[in-house]
A and B are shown apart, each in its own frame.
Chain A
Amino acid sequence: MKRIGRLFAYGFVLLTTGVTVFPFLYMVSASLMSFQEATGVPPALLPAHARWSNFGEALRAAPFARYAVNTLIVSGLSTLGTLATTVLAAFALVRLRFRFKRLLMGVMVALLMVPYEILVFTNYRTIAQLGLLDTYAALILPSLASVFYILYLCQYLTAIPDTYYKAAIVNGCGDLEYMWRIMIPMSRSALFTMALLLFISGWNSFLWPILVTNTTDMRLVGNGLSAFVTESGTAVQLQMAASTIIVLPILILYAVFHRRIIEGVHVNGIKR
């Protein structure tokens, strides 16, 4: 009885994992097929021979390299910016004492309830009024601070005894010195996980870039791919190649740092 249960459980897990992984495997496989193979009935599981030229063709068909560079710049800078603002803010909220701190924390927790998708449109108006449409600034500015990660880091820092800070200021260490030499090294792993997840969500951003960019040159990989799908019509093998190009960097990051990423999510239940 127990063995049957175990077997059933194993089968269920294998099946679901298969369903989860299959789209990625098939994406890679189809990215190497010819058009005939990719659109044939019954569908081919593997290409007869790998057509690496699909990748070159996709890269020629749309400026994916440019998209990737844009995305790298945008999510890289937003990640660094968010790290900086978050570290400063979380330090102030956890270690310093000042008026209206509780009120401020309360407002931030309340802001967590507001869905980003609702704010995105009026943010578009702000950016338009600032005359920043279709610039890197438009893509980066709104993601230079995150209420969620400030609260995340606050929670992490609260668990570190405040005697480290007390010892440091008695020793004549300034606030910035404390952050740089003690707080950041001591919360390295949390900050690293945070940076990974920030970068990944920047890489995958979609709604904001389609709102504030309108020239091809400013597109990020997400809206670049979506535009390419419209332009390329039925050239599925090229679409799969393009998707692979976009997903692969994240999969590599994940393969290297998967423990850290999963633990980071375990700790705090990070939302998308």
Chain B
Amino acid sequence: MSITIRHLGKRYGERVALRDVNLEVCDGELVCLLGPSGCGKSTLLNIVAGLLDPSGGDVLIDGESVVRTHPKYRGIGMVFQDYALYPHMSVEENVMFPLRVGEHRVARREALVRARRFMRLTGIEDLARLRPGSLSGGQQQRVAVARALVQEPRVLLLDEPLSNLDARLRLSIREEIRRIVKATRVTTVFVTHDQEEALSIGDRIAVMDRGVIQQFAAPQDLYLDPANLFVARFMGSPVLNTFCLSYDGGRRVLAGDDFSVPLGVLDVSRFRRPVGEAESVLAAGGCVLGVRPEHFHLVGGSDGLADAGADRFPVVFGTLVESVEMIGRYAVVHFTADDERCRCVVDVRRAPRAGDRVLVGLDCVSVHVFDADGGRLY
């Protein structure tokens, strides 16, 4: 049961909510739509569900266009952020509800049998007689999932289903959702603004911004191989360090005030374009160097003596530690380089203290370079 989205657009008067969205979700796959609020991810989900009309383009489920089809014939199940459990019905009645309405309604007894099966799957059999009002957030969440699945839909749509839960519960429920979804093998689209959630749950993730899919890839690829500056910045925590460097064509060096990166030390195979072409784009100016926090290495302490490892890095510069944030196993070290506030991640046992002078080595091979439009060059 695949979902194909072709050239989908949505505009509200002047405002464009979605622009030429293309997406292919395979049978049984769990895809996350990830992006900041207002990026169009919920709009996209609602169009797939048939709760909004597209302004252009097509949505196909199993190769069949559904944009002119009523939601009830699309074969979808949906979970909402607020769960939308009917407060005047018991848990059991809520789960049975989809089976007891519409022209395909089934007999009460059969509905009960089917509802019980999904209540067992989601672990809420014991709550059958309770009203949603007396359940915890996590339990309500399970009821909502059971209700969405009870019709055995071709497609399950989840709209920010975890954002009303507290942090700890979110972790366990998201694993639970993945388990249930994989057990039923239903094709699933999961909308979230939380990258960690998306990374942990999705088979593939579509990162969206301003109505456009920025990149659609497996979680690790989004992080290691971002398509553009937006994705590189959006994925990863602490956030990517960025520097506006100028390119010195004569010396073939990306030059900054505190450090410079010679093009020679980069891995030629990682360039997205032929090196010559990339160089002319760099020469046009406005390029951005992106460095993940883990690609800065502290190679020298406050004594100013270089660590043995310093020579591993072609680029090394000295700076002053401004503050140190303890995250647990890691510490985030804040410093300034090239007028940018930078973050780097170090082992907590080797963390310096605020005010220390340190030497920072740059893992040049792993950096990213973006052109003036944010497109990836390296």
Contacts and interface: CB of A to CB of B under 8 A. Distances in A.
A177 B99 CA distance: 13
Main secondary structure of the interface of A (DSSP, over half): helix
A119 to B, nearest CB: 38
Nearest to B102: A172
A168 B148 CA distance: 10
A169 B80 contact: no
B49 A170 contact: yes
Nearest to B83: A163
Contacts of B50: 170
Given A177-B101, A177-B102, A181-B101, A170 B86 contact: no
A163 B80 contact: yes
A171 interface: yes
Given A166-B80, A169-B71, A186 B86 contact: yes
B102 A186 contact: no
A171 B151 contact: yes
B214 to A, nearest CB: 27
B118 to A, nearest CB: 13
Contact of A170 (B71, B82, B104): B71
Contacts of B71: 169-170
A171 B98 contact: yes
A174 B82 contact: no
Contact of B86 (A164, A174, A177): A164
Contacts of A185: 86, 88
Interface in B292-311: none
A167 interface: yes
Counting chain B CB atoms within 10 Å of each CB, the highest count among A164, A171, A188 belongs to A171
A173 interface: yes
Interface string B31-69: 000000000000000000111000000000000000000
Interface residues of B, number: 24
B77 A174 contact: no
Contacts of A182: 86
B82 A173 contact: no
Contact of B102 (A166, A167, A173, A188): A173
Contacts of B151: 171-172
B135 interface: no
Contacts of B76: 170
A: contact size bracket: 10 to 19
A168 B71 CA distance: 10
A233 interface: no
Interface string A132-173: 000000000000000000000000000001011011111111
A169 B52 CA distance: 12
A166 B151 CA distance: 16
Contact of A174 (B80, B84, B98, B101): B101
B96 to A, nearest CB: 11
Given A163-B80, A166-B51, A171 B101 contact: yes
Interface string A91-135: 000000000000000000000000000000000000000000000
B72 A164 contact: no
A71 to B, nearest CB: 33
B355 interface: no
Given A166-B51, A177-B101, A185-B88, A172 B72 contact: yes
A161 B82 contact: yes
B84 A169 contact: no
B87 interface: yes
Contacts of B86: 164, 182, 185-186
Interface in B91-107: 97-98, 101-104
B82 A163 contact: yes
Given A172-B72, A177-B102, A167 B78 contact: yes
Contacts of B147: 167, 171
Interface string B97-139: 1100111100000000000000000000000000000000000
Contacts of B78: 166-167, 170
A268 to B, nearest CB: 22
Nearest to B79: A167
Contact of B104 (A166, A169, A172, A177): A172
B80 A172 contact: no
Interface string B216-245: 000000000000000000000000000000
A185 B93 CA distance: 14
B280 to A, nearest CB: 51
Contacts of B84: 161, 163-164, 166-167
A166 B77 CA distance: 11
Contacts of B81: 163
A174 B49 contact: no
A29 to B, nearest CB: 46
A65 B347 CA distance: 91
A177 B101 CA distance: 7
B80 A171 contact: no
A104 B102 CA distance: 30
Interface in A154-210: 161, 163-164, 166-174, 177, 181-182, 185-186, 188
Interface of B: 49-51, 70-72, 76-78, 80-82, 84, 86-88, 97-98, 101-104, 147, 151
Given A163-B81, A167-B147, A169-B71, 19 more contacts: A161-B84, A163-B80, A163-B84, A164-B86, A166-B84, A168-B97, A168-B101, A170-B71, A170-B77, A170-B78, A171-B147, A171-B151, A172-B104, A172-B151, A173-B97, A174-B102, A181-B97, A185-B88, A188-B88
Interface of A: 161, 163-164, 166-174, 177, 181-182, 185-186, 188
